Every structure is written in C-alpha cells, then in structure tokens.
C-alpha cells in the first residue's frame, strides 16, 4: 500500500517521504473522481453520474491526483506516523509531491524530549535573611512622614514643607496636566514628578505663581510624553510646615493597635523579614531552576517557539488594554517598530519560557508530583476567602477550566518547593519528603454564579515574566 522513509532533522522535526504503490493511487483516484462528480456540474451528466474519463477531462488529471493524495494522507496519517515511529507534536506540514510513483513529503514536528540529568545532586547555598537597623529606621521615618501634622505658614516654602498647588501643563499647546489642589511634599529624596519640579516650588509663598519648562518623567503613563519638555504654570495656594511625630508609644497607637513603641518595632521587623524571605526564596528557586535548565538536554520543534510568541503578543495586548493604553500596534508604531520586530526581540524570552516549562513538567513527572481533588477544593476555598466570598459558596466543578487552573497553580508551587528542598539537600534518593494532603471542608459541586478571576496557567507554571512593548 505505501512505505515510509524517515529523516530526522536538527530542528527536532522529521521529514517523512511516503511512497504509495500504483494500485493504491488508482483506487484513490477513482474515489476522488466520484467525489468530484458529486460536487460539480458536468455537462451532459447528472451530478455524481459522470464516468471517470469525463470527470478527468472536465477538471484535469492534476485535480484528481491532488484530491486522491489528500484523501490518502487523511485516511492513513495515523498509520504513517506509526510506520515512521514518530510521536508528533502537532499536525504535519506538506512539503512536496511527485508522481510515478506517488510520493508525498511531510515535515512533522516531534514531541519535545527532556533529559534532566542527575538533578537530585543540584545544590545552592541558602542564607537566611536578616533585618538591619537602617531598614527599620527607613520604615519608621516613612511612618513619621505619613503621620506628619500640617500647619499653615506665611513664609516661603522650604525643603521638607508641603505645598498645595494648582498645576497646568501643556506640550505644543496641548494640555497634558490640569489639576487643582495637589499636595506636594518638597523632598529631594522622594521628589514629586521630578527634582526640577520640587526646585521650582522651593521659595514660593501662598498666592504666588511661577512658570517653568520641565521634562516630563519617564514614568508617565503615556509613552509619547515620556521625556518631553512641557510648559508648566504653577499657582501655590498654601504652604504647610510638616511637624513630624516622635518615635514613641503615641505614634505606635496612631499607626495601629500597638500599646508600646517596641511592639510597633517588632511588627515592622517581622513584616520586613517576611518580605525579604519571600524575595530570597523566589530568587533562590529561580537560581536552582536556571541550573536545572542549564544541565538538562532539551529538544523541541520551532513550532513551540512560534506558539509561545503568540502567547507573549496576546499577553502584551491584554496588559495594554487593562492599563487603558493604546493598542500594541500603535505603541510599537510610536517606537518605530513592527510586530514582526517585536516578535523577534521577544524570541529569547520565548525560548527561555519554553525551556523552563518543559523542564518543570519533566521534573514534576520524575518526582511523581500530583494534585488531588481535595487540594483543588482547598485552593478554591483559599481564593474565595481572600476575595471575601461567603464560605457557603465554596463549590467548584472539578472538570471546569477554573479547576484546571487551580490544579496547575498548586502543582507549580509543589514543583518549586521540591526543587528548593533538593537544592538545600533535604531530598535524597533514599527518602523523598511527602507533604500531607490538606483537608477540604468545601463542597465539590458546580461553580458559583459569581466566578472569580483566575490567571490562566500552563500545566506547570513558571515564574512570571513581563514582556514590554
């Protein structure tokens, strides 16, 4: 019937040459002619009743052969792949066709292959973070600034004061800022808008107006205005002296439900330490993941990069839309770039994402990490609790996309926790740590009427990467 010759390409694809024998082709041509006869009107014959020779004469031999070849591929594609011994990643791509005998060439993307190597020997030093006195002092000073008492003064504004000002700014005659009663702290360390803006206001008194040409900051929301010169008209309506509170029990009780200043300091230290631990843990796991990817042997077809680039483009479009900004195409046009150039620039990021995703998926399989139904339900309950949804609504359809996303999120955490444990030397070949399955009191039913937003995750999520237009 047919024979298959296979050539493995460096691109992790297979080039298949499928040769059909003459009898198989002739039978397929007869079927193709009958199908064509039923689809077109051939003069002198009712539909489907024209003989083979008339159909060939009317539509041409090439059309019949083309349809016959397509039907042979459709009918035998699974068997062709089995004969070739390949596991496809996606549908095959037509490359070429020739006759005598009918020979069809196909390019088939292969399933990715990942060899992790001796990943249980991965190690990375871990250093528990600490909180310095300087870090405590910075937070305490911020609290003093936030709880400063404002007293109106009649003198010109000085550094450290706060002014109430009406701001009007134009660029080439177009108004870009028109706000009244803006409160501006005259600070060199944390300047409002820009250091030059603060300098312009120092020395002004209530009722005074000033004109200045200042550069708009690079952090401004509209990309087309970043770094552009704007003409400012500033009117100071009031100057305030800022009276900072003492670092004492009174400040502690103002900030929160603390009886003493020492309790406030302990709370601040604990919050800073938790934040630093989270950051350190994220950086630690990221280093281990880089090491795991670096030592792994990874092969994948180009199609995976193209699909990931599609995802990055879609994510960037969504982000710009959420920000209420312009379209991706308009943003790129302002920067003198095309969508094709953007995709090319994002290719290294796409390659990194593909490699990490493949490695993490293989790691999860090698470690036997799974997510139970109870864990999905518990994760849903935590999500609802964080949203303030009533506990009686804790129901989730385990076959839904939401449940799949929750399962993926839990699996991602398990994977990174296991990788970190290996890096610290806590997991060995002899003993693999097992985590107890969380109990779930939630009902496993259908989803509630109000469905919370959940970020769609891949099968094994990786640390998020932000793409910029």
Q: Is residue 102 domain-resident? A: yes
Confirm if 334 and 223 have CB atoms less than 8 A apart: yes
Determine the distance from the C-alpha atom of residue 92 to the mean position of all C-alpha atoms in its chain, rounded to a whole number. 28
pLDDT at 394: 63
Where among 111, 135, 157 does a domain terminate? 111
Q: Give the separation between CA 435 and CA 413, rounded to whole angstroms.
A: 12
Confirm if 349 and 465 have CB atoms less than 8 A apart: yes
Residues 323, 328, 329, 331, CA torsion sign? positive
pLDDT at 366: 95
Which residues of the chain register pLDDT less than 50?
431, 433-435, 437-466
Q: Is residue 98 domain-resident? A: yes
Whether residues 232 and 176 fall in one domain: yes
Q: Give the separation between CA 8 and CA 196, rounded to whole angstroms.
A: 63
Q: 227 vs 175, 192, 233, 242, CA distance in Å?
A: 16, 15, 18, 31
Number of domains forming the structure of the chain? 2
pLDDT at 52: 92
Per residue in 359-387, pLDDT (tens digit) is: 999 999 999 999 999 999 899 988 888 88
Q: Give the separation between CA 341 and CA 333, rounded to whole angstroms.
A: 11
Q: Is residue 175 domain-resident? A: yes
Whether residues 44 and 91 fall in one domain: yes
Confirm if 183 and 162 have CB atoms less than 8 A apart: yes
Where among 58, 92, 111 does a domain terminate? 111
Q: Is residue 451 domain-resident? A: no
Alpha helices, DSSP H, located in 40-94: 52-59, 61-84
Whether residues 166 and 78 fall in one domain: no
CA count, 13 A, side-chain hemisphere, 300? 23
Whether residues 23 and 86 fall in one domain: yes
Whether residues 106 and 12 fall in one domain: yes
Phi, psi at residue 388, to the nearest 5°?
75, 20
Whether residues 88 and 177 fall in one domain: no
Q: List the domain range (segments joined by +) for residue 153.
A: 149-243
Whether residues 68 and 10 fall in one domain: yes
Per residue in 2-13, pLDDT (tens digit) is: 999 999 999 999
Q: Is residue 394 domain-resident? A: no
pLDDT at 428: 64
Whether residues 27 and 104 fall in one domain: yes
CA angle 349–351–356, rounded 5-degree value: 95
Q: Give the separation between CA 293 and CA 115, rounded to whole angstroms.
A: 10
CA count, 13 A, side-chain hemisphere, 430? 2
Whether residues 13 and 99 fall in one domain: yes
Q: Give the separation between CA 301 and CA 346, rounded to whole angstroms.
A: 17
Q: Is residue 206 domain-resident? A: yes
Where among 243, 269, 288 does a domain terminate? 243
Q: Which of 406, 371, 382, 412 is nearest to 285 (CA)?
A: 412
Whether residues 92 and 165 fall in one domain: no
Structure tokens belonging to residue 234:
């500033």
Residue 204 is part of a domain; what is its CATH number?
A: 3.10.50.40
Q: Which of 413, 422, 398, 428 is nearest to 462 (CA)?
A: 413
Residue 18 is part of a domain; what is its CATH number?
A: 3.30.70.1050
Q: Is residue 332 domain-resident? A: no
Q: Give the separation between CA 67 and CA 38, rounded to whole angstroms.
A: 14
**DSSP percent split of the chain into helix, strand, coil, nearest 5:** 45, 20, 35
Q: Residue 150's beta-bridge partner residues?
A: 242
Whether residues 231 and 160 fall in one domain: yes
**pTM of the entire predicted model:** 0.71
Q: Is residue 46 domain-resident? A: yes
Q: Give the separation between CA 10 and CA 89, rounded to whole angstroms.
A: 15
Matching residue, tokens 């808008």 = 193
């Amino acid at each position: 019937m047919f024979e298959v010759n296979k050539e493995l390409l460096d691109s992790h694809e297979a080039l298949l040459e499928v040769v059909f024998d003459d009898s198989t082709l002739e039978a397929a041509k007869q079927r193709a002619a009958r199908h064509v006869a039923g689809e077109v009107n051939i003069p002198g014959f009712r539909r489907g009743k024209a003989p083979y020779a008339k159909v060939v004469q009317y539509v041409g031999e090439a059309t019949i052969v083309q349809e016959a070849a397509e039907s042979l591929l459709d009918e035998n594609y699974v068997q062709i792949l089995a004969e070739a011994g390949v596991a496809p990643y996606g549908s095959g791509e037509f490359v070429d066709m020739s006759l005598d005998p009918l020979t069809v060439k196909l390019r088939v993307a292969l399933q990715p292959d990942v060899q992790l190597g001796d990943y249980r020997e991965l190690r990375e030093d871990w250093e528990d973070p600490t909180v310095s006195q300087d870090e405590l002092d910075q937070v305490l000073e911020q609290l003093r600034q936030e709880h400063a008492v404002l007293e109106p003064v009649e003198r010109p504004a000085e550094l450290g004061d706060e002014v109430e000002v009406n701001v009007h700014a134009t660029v080439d005659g177009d108004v870009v800022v028109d706000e009244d009663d803006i409160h501006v702290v005259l600070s060199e360390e944390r300047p409002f808008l820009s250091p030059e803006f603060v300098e312009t206001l120092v020395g002004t008194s209530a009722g005074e107006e000033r004109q200045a040409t200042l550069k708009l900051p690079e952090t401004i929301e509209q990309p087309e205005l970043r770094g552009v010169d704007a003409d400012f008209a500033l009117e100071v309506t009031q100057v305030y002296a800022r009276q900072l509170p003492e670092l004492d029990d009174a400040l502690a009780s103002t900030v929160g439900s603390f009886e003493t200043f020492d309790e406030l300091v302990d709370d601040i230290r604990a919050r800073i330490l938790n934040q630093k631990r989270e950051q350190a843990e994220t950086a630690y796991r990221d280093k281990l993941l880089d090491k795991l990817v670096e030592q792994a042997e990874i092969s994948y077809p180009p199609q995976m990069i193209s699909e990931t680039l599609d995802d990055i483009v879609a994510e960037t479009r969504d982000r710009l839309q959420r920000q209420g900004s312009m379209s991706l195409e308009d943003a790129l046009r302002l920067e003198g770039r095309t969508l094709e150039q953007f995709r090319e620039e994002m290719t290294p990021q796409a390659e990194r994402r593909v490699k990490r995703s493949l490695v993490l998926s293989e790691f999860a399989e090698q470690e036997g990490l799974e997510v139970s139904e109870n864990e999905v339900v518990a994760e849903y309950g935590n999500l609802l609790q964080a949203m303030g949804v009533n506990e009686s609504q804790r129901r989730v359809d385990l076959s839904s996309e939401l449940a799949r996303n929750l399962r993926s999120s839990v699996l991602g955490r398990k994977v990174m926790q296991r990788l970190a444990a290996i890096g610290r030397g806590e997991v060995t070949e002899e003993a693999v740590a097992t985590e107890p399955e969380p109990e779930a009191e939630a009902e496993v039913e259908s989803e509630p009427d109000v469905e919370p937003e959940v970020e769609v995750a891949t099968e094994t999520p990786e640390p998020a990467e932000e793409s910029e237009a």
